[in-house]
A and B are shown apart, each in its own frame.
Chain A
Amino acid sequence: MEQQQHKSRPTAIRADRDGGKMFVFHPEGDDLFVRSGRQVIEHCQLGIGLEVWLNELRDMAEHVAAWAQKRPAVQAVYAAPRGTQITLFVIPNADQFDFDLADEMVSLEIELRRFNVGLIETIQIPPGELDRFVDTNQARIIHDRSAAAHSTVAS
């Protein structure tokens, strides 16, 4: 179907005036959506909120990648959702728990509170044990010194 270009002024939906008014949406295909003006506004707000959150998440990941890049003791960092929080799995170069790195991770967690992405937790785990702690399909690489000479931030 040929799309028509509407040159008329857009239809305004005002919460105070149209919040209870019903609107019918006809997407391509056989679907039909009926939403109140209030729901339309809420969907738009949710879309903006999600976009802001994703931007914050990307900025946070870049901050962590830079943090890891500066620390030779860090081999890799993965991020994954766990419950209601984001967990950063920090893998040291050594086979033993790195106590000094753990102290630095506490400082990192404090720094990360400025990113508006909810609760963030860091945990140090041994090399080669990621799948003991998280579904690796859900984990995203933030930094991996062994896989590449440069850090990678996955969106």
Chain B
Amino acid sequence: MTDPQRHIRQWLHNRGFIATIEPRFHDWIVTATFYAALHAVDTLLAHDQNSRVVDHASRNDVLARTNRYQQIHRHYKPLYMLAQSVRYLAAPEKWIPFEKVESHVLHRYLYPIEASVQKLINQQLDLPPIKLRTA
């Protein structure tokens, strides 16, 4: 079982990266945001000593089937969907315009996931709002 602290480090690491990405690469902001969310989720799973999760499918399944994780699942799954699609597209800027990244990807998905995880692990982290770079 992975130490939750290792996932917290990677969660914060990915968060820091998001703020450095230029707006013209905002499809990568989506991807980095997803991996910040993934490590937030894995922090919780490690905290709960859940060892069944070995890949995206098993993680999604555990989130969907566990009452304790329902709130997270509601925000994590659409972010997973978006990240899955955006990284394979030839014109990702059309699929997810930069203007929607802060309001939807961060505020609608990442921040609620982070809030739920902190509540469930009973630990408040220093997670200021991410300030995206501007063009």
Contacts of B88 in A (CB 8 A): 132-133
Contacts of B2 in A (CB 8 A): none
**Could you tell me the dominant secondary structure of chain A's interface residues?**
mixed
The answer to whether B94 touches A122, judged by C-beta atoms less than 8 angstroms apart, is no
Is B73 at the interface (CB under 8 A from chain A)? yes
Q: Whole-angstrom distance from the CB of B98 to the nearest CB of chain A?
A: 12
Q: Which chain A residues (75-122) contact chain B, with CB distance < 8 Å?
A: 83-85, 95-97, 99, 102-103, 105-106, 109-110, 113, 119, 121-122
Is A129 at the interface (CB under 8 A from chain B)? yes
* A83/B77 contact (C-beta < 8 A), A95-B95, A126-B85, A132-B88 known: no
* A105/B78 contact (C-beta < 8 A), A97-B95, A132-B89 known: yes
Contacts of A96 in B (CB 8 A): 94-97, 100
Is B52 at the interface (CB under 8 A from chain A)? no
Instruction: Give bound CA distance, A106 to B94, whole Å.
Output: 23
Most B CB contacts (10 A, CB to CB) among A99, A119, A124 go to: A99
The answer to whether B96 touches A97, judged by C-beta atoms less than 8 angstroms apart, is yes
Contacts of A83 in B (CB 8 A): 57
Instruction: Give bound CA distance, A22 to B86, whole Å.
Output: 57
Interface string of B75-102 (1 = CB under 8 A from A): 0011001101110111000111100100
Is B47 at the interface (CB under 8 A from chain A)? no
Q: Whole-angstrom distance from the CB of B119 to the nearest CB of chain A?
A: 20
Known: A96-B96, A105-B81, A106-B77. 10 other contacts (CB 8 A): A84-B57, A96-B95, A96-B100, A97-B82, A106-B78, A109-B64, A110-B64, A119-B61, A123-B85, A133-B88
Across the A-B interface, the 7 shortest Cβ-Cβ residue pairs: A102-B78, A106-B77, A97-B96, A125-B85, A123-B81, A132-B88, A126-B95
